[in-house]
Structure 1
Amino acid sequence: MIINVKLGKELVVMSKNKVGVLSQVASALADHGINITAISAQSAGGVGLMNFVVDDHLRASDLLRKKKFQVHDSEIILLEVQDKPGALKRLTKRLAAKKIDILNVYGSAPATYGPCTLVLSTDHNQHALVTLKQAM
């Protein structure tokens, strides 16, 4: 069951895949009091790609650009769903039925009882938002 759904923003930081880059980004954000609420990071072909949802998107984006990181701002959908088997199945089936392509997804489940947080980007975020709100 979907508890909450809304549009949001994420920072997508690209760099050469080298030791310490994630630490540099995390340190810059922390040193300026910016909290990371969701993160995904991966590398392929020597390129590192880090996705961040933060509590002050504009300030974080400006800060990382000033520090010469390659930063892209991307619209996302933030979801809170019940931490139960089948939650992801139900929401992805709903999007697939509406022909909405999921481009990226990452999330977390709580250590104790509570909702899961999912971050989605799709080929039609506005349409996906309406579709997911109808499932609430």
Structure 2
Amino acid sequence: MSSIYNSLHQAHSEIEREILELETIIGAREVNYPNALHVLKKLFKMWDKHEEQEEEVFINLQKRGFTIPVKKIIFEHGKLKKKRDALANAIYSGSHVKAQEALRKDGLQLIRDLREHMKMEDWVLYALPQNVLSKEERTKLF
């Protein structure tokens, strides 16, 4: 298993913990909006940083001759961000009904899509050779 896989998979695990917490909040009888907002803010911050690092890594690997579906990954990042932003806008709208509906429908769909995307990226990374990036490159990126 490559070091890059371990590094990015660790980031995916941290994102998954936040997703699981959000999923629990959404599934509760009464949605705790302050907690949902807190989790979303934390998730979005992690997500943005991770996505930037990930795209840099994948582009770098592709330039080195590895077969990486960079266009697909970046396209999916864009789709996921649009869904994420739509969910955030609904929650920040101030409408309890709109926010609850968005969390229960769009939030759960976003969670499913994000998990599927991370699984695809993990499979891409899993196939890479051991230590494909130098220690210095890994330190810079992670």
Q: In which range does the TM-score fall when normalised by the shorter chain?
A: under 0.3
- Whose strand fraction is larger, Structure 1's or Structure 2's? 1
Higher relative contact order (CA 8 A, sep 6+): 2
Q: TM-score, normalised by structure 1?
A: 0.27
